[in-house]
Amino acid sequence: MAATSVVVLDRGNNTTCTINLHGATVVSWRVNNQEQLFVSKQAVFDGKKAIRGGIPFIFPQFGPWTIGPQHGFARIIRWHLEKAPERLASGDVEAVFSILDTDFTRSMWNYPFRLTYRLILREKELHFNIAVYNPSKDLTFSFNMLLHTYFKVPDVRRCQITGLQGCTFIDKTREGAVYQEVRDVVTINEWTDRIYQNTPQEHIITNVVSGRKMRIQKYNFPDTVVWNPWVDNAKDMSDFGDDEYPNMVCVEAGHVSSPVILLPGTAFEASQILQVM
């Protein structure tokens, strides 16, 4: 990985965030030197394949795509560093990344767009502010967006995820059947791939790194995807270790079960805050 391909936000006190410009993928978030994100030991950093772990940026498609790569192109193209890391008056550190339509993006998705991604590293928090702008005079486009966050955990079987009770979910392990979640906390003991719909703005994951809790707060992301490949699917992924699945859980804020429809000259904004409790 060339040094120029990564950007580091450093708040001091061993609290850092590292972004790979390939996909603007957050590949590390350390709080007091403790890594909070999972990246597979077999992740590929070739500037082509999506990075297996961290926080891949899913846009403009979630899942398989007939006209382009699965989960869209944002996670496999090089982003522009619009604003280099800068310390704010608060002591927090901010950087801004962006992409525009190019010949490559228009070859699959023929729309003009502008996407900005602002990250702010705080003492125990990481803030994500996202804006998609449609500069067209006459074209409306629709898209999905999701932050595919891989949290690092000592044992996924001991994690509990709050804020899903009563929500309907699409179960992709059962051919897309729709169910309602009855549990007050969700636990993971098998292959899990669910799109929870109309979820509340906050989730807490227990027993993350060092037995702590992780709070997820989200705005304009009505869906929450929960994913763990478990043992059989782990074996099918060349860029994921067969024995790594107990050490990660994906809890992903997104707008995926229905698309965002963006009229000409308008913008869509969404945000997420991750907080180590």
Active site residues: 148, 252
Q: How far is the C-alpha of 53 from the C-alpha of 32, rounded, in Å?
A: 21
Q: How far is the C-alpha of 148 from the C-alpha of 55, rounded, in Å?
A: 5
Q: Residues with Cβ < 8 Å from 167, sequence gap 6 or more?
A: 180, 181, 196, 197, 198, 199, 224
Are 193 and 171 in contact, with CB atoms under 8 Å apart?
Answer: yes
Are 26 and 43 in contact, with CB atoms under 8 Å apart?
Answer: no
Query: What is the dihedral sign for C-alpha 130, 201, 262, 111?
Result: positive
Terminal-residue alpha carbon distance, the chain: 32
Tokens of 30: 């350390």
Are 154 and 39 in contact, with CB atoms under 8 Å apart?
Answer: no
Residue 157 known to bind ligand: no
Q: Which residues pair with 93 in a beta bridge?
A: 87, 121
Tokens of 52: 């297996």
Alpha helices in 173-241 (DSSP H): 230-236
Q: How far is the C-alpha of 54 from the C-alpha of 65, rounded, in Å?
A: 22
214-219 and 161-162 strand pairing: unpaired
State the binding site for substrate: 52, 70, 75
